[in-house]
Amino acid sequence: FKSDPQDCMPATLCRKLQIDLLRKELGFKGVLVSDAAPMIGITSRVKEDDMVVENIVNGSDVFLFADPIKDFDRLMKAVRSKRLTEERVYESAGRVLEMKARLNLHKHPFGEKVSMEMFHEHRNTAQSAADKSITLLKDDGMVPVSLNNEAKVLTVTLTYKGHNRSPQDLGIVDQELIDRGFQVDHLYSPGHSELLKKVPEYDMVFVNMYITMHMKMGTMRATAEAVMPFWRAFYANNQNVVFTSFGNPYVLYEQPHLPNMLLTYSASEVSQRAVVKVWLGELEPEGVCPVLQPKVTIKRFEYSGK
Contact 75, 84 (CB under 8 A): yes
Residue 226: predicted pLDDT: 54
Residue 213: predicted pLDDT: 63
Instruction: Write the CA distances from 78 to 54, 58, 72, 163, 211, integer angstroms.
Output: 10, 13, 10, 41, 44
Residue 150: predicted pLDDT: 87
The per-residue pLDDT for range 106-115, each reduced to its tens digit, is 888 887 788 8
Residues above pLDDT 90, as percent of the chain: 60
- pLDDT above 80: residue 221: no
Residue that wins the pLDDT comparison between 114 and 268: 268
Residue 300: predicted pLDDT: 55
Confidence grade of residue 30 (pLDDT, cut at 50, 70, 90)? very high
- pLDDT above 90: residue 301: no
